[in-house]
Chains A and B, each alone.
Chain A
């Protein structure tokens, strides 16, 4: 079945540091890929998405590129802020058949001033 693997957290960075959160997936066909973020005390918010190979999703300074050859969708940001502290979830779903999202286990990011 489908699965998503994320790097273990927590990840602790200083403000303005470069961020990478690794995400790899296992799925047949061509899933759509997502990053969701959960800020403290809030629900899940869609951060960015990509629907086909080599697509780059971007939002709020975050980027991720759909790499089919390495089955990866790593999240990056060039300069993190304290306000980026949150839990980040990588996820996938399908356009055909099952539409439920398959999530990774989440990576907690803590940014220190």
Chain B
């Protein structure tokens, strides 16, 4: 079974530019989460999809971040325009809906550097 994959693994962009991160969850996992770790601090939740619907987006920092999940499969996270403080590692995770305690399986992360 393939794990969670993320693309790209690393992105370097200038302040003001746009970046789109992609996450492909484990096949059959309805739940998809985005997290990020900034400057070696704790990993913080951004949002949670159930299939194509946003279940919880309370962690999204501002309206420069837009997440979508087309057809309940892969998800994209767009940052537009990027700011210096957006630098960090963005993790995607997925879980099955019917298996408590809802263990989440993580991808390798995308390291975003905004210069």
A103 x B44 contact (CB < 8 A): yes
Contact between A99 and B31, CB atoms less than 8 A apart? yes
Say whether B12 faces chain A, with CB atoms less than 8 Å apart.
no
Beyond A43-B4, A104-B42, 11 additional contacts (C-beta under 8 Å) are A32-B102, A34-B103, A43-B91, A43-B108, A46-B103, A46-B104, A95-B100, A99-B56, A100-B33, A100-B45, A106-B40
Q: Does B48 contact A (CB under 8 A)?
A: yes
Q: Mark B1-40, 1 if CB is under 8 A from A, else 0.
A: 0001000000000000000000000000001010101001
Interface residues on A, range: 20 to 34
* Chain B residues within 8 Å of A, Cβ to Cβ: 4, 31, 33, 35, 37, 40-45, 48, 56, 59, 91, 93, 95, 100-109
**Given A32-B101, A43-B91, A51-B100, is A102 in contact with B45 using a C-beta cutoff of 8 Å?**
yes
Beta-carbon contacts under 8 Å, A14-48 to B: 32, 34, 36, 42-46
Cβ of B109 and Cβ of A43 under 8 Å apart? Answer: yes
Residues of A within 8 A of B48 (CB): 99-100
Per-residue CB contact flags for chain A residues 100-111 toward chain B (1 = under 8 Å, else 0) read 111111100000
* Cβ contact within 8 Å between B108 and A49: no
**19 A–B contacts, CB within 8 A, in A order:** A32-B100, A32-B102, A43-B4, A43-B91, A44-B91, A45-B106, A49-B101, A49-B103, A51-B100, A93-B101, A93-B102, A99-B56, A101-B35, A101-B43, A101-B93, A101-B104, A102-B45, A103-B44, A106-B43
